[in-house]
Amino acid sequence: MHIRKDDTVQIITGDDAPSTGRVLRVLPDEGKVVVEGINRVYRHMRPSQRNRQGGRLSKEMPVDASNVLLFCPTCRKGVRIGKRPGPEGRKERFCKKCQNGLGFIGSARKKQKA
């Protein structure tokens, strides 16, 4: 998946369309991400031992990963990304428009013996 936790993303479809937010959780098995302040719903809670008052609890629900774009700080908008080899054999995500690096993926590869 091209989105990681703590990335800033822009929502491209839905009710929250041109807004941006920080990724709180990534659900790779479902292909979804949870974005801070986006797709909020109310959960009606009955009073219980844990929650004595009850009432309406507002929480973020997952958004499909295809509906978000990684936010490029240089371009100041959501952009498509590419992957290229970086220093020390690590993969780097980069903006397709301005070629700016957007962070690394994974750990460094071990050198193969000849």
Domains with residue ranges and CATH for the chain: 8-105 (2.30.30.30)
Q: What is the pLDDT of residue 2?
A: 85
Q: What is the pLDDT of residue 25?
A: 96
Q: What is the pLDDT of residue 88?
A: 78
Which parts of the chain register pLDDT below 50? Answer: none
**Bridge partners of residue 34, in order along the sequence:** 25
3-class state of residue 54 by DSSP: coil
* Residues whose CB is less than 8 angstroms from the CB of residue 94 and which lie 6 or more positions away in sequence, other chains included: 81, 82, 83, 84, 100, 101, 102
Integer Cα distance of 35 and 13 in angstroms: 14
Integer Cα distance of 47 and 99 in angstroms: 53
Cα end-to-end span (Å), the chain: 32
pLDDT tens, 66-95?
A: 999 999 999 998 999 999 988 777 888 999
